[in-house]
Every structure is written in structure tokens, then in C-alpha cells.
Amino acid sequence: MNLIDEESEDRSLPFVKVIIAGIVIGLVGIYLRFADFKYSSEIADVIMGIATIITIKTVFDWLKTPAPRN
């Protein structure tokens, strides 16, 4: 692996970690949707909304980062 690939991987790692965290939070929301307690569906909707916002914002921030120069 050359230096440019290593720099690219180093810069993308925080984005990948946040995206994975957003997906895990979304999975918690999906799990809570099937729970059987009062307001479980509403709580699940809020959690899934937060996960969606986190993930989409991170993807757009990642797309805005400049590409490494040669």
C-alpha cells in the first residue's frame, strides 16, 4: 500500500466508525419497535430518526472531504 492509500484510510476511519454507530443505533430502534411496552413505537421512531440524521450527516460530510492530492 502506498502513502496515498494509507492517508485516505486514516482520514476515512472516523467516518466509518460514526456510520457504524448510526447503524447500530438504528438497529436498536428497530428492535424497540417490536417491544411491548407503552410508547415503544414512539421511542423507536425517535431513535431511528436520530440514527438516520447521524448517518446521513456523516455520509455527506465524508463526501465533502477533499480527495488526496498526488
Q: Where are the domains of the chain?
A: 15-61
Percent of the chain scoring above 70 in pLDDT: 83
pLDDT tens track for 8-59: 667 788 899 999 999 999 999 999 999 888 999 999 999 999 999 999 999 9
pLDDT tens digits, one per residue of 5-21: 566 667 788 899 999 99
What type of residue is 16?
V
Of 69, 61, 47, give the one whose Cα is nearest residue 17: 61
pLDDT value of residue 28: 95
Would you give the end-to-end CA distance of the chain in angstroms?
Answer: 14
Which of 2-29 are b and which e, b meaning 16 or more Cβ less than 10 Å from the residue's Cβ? eeeeeeeeeeeeeeeebbeebeebbeeb
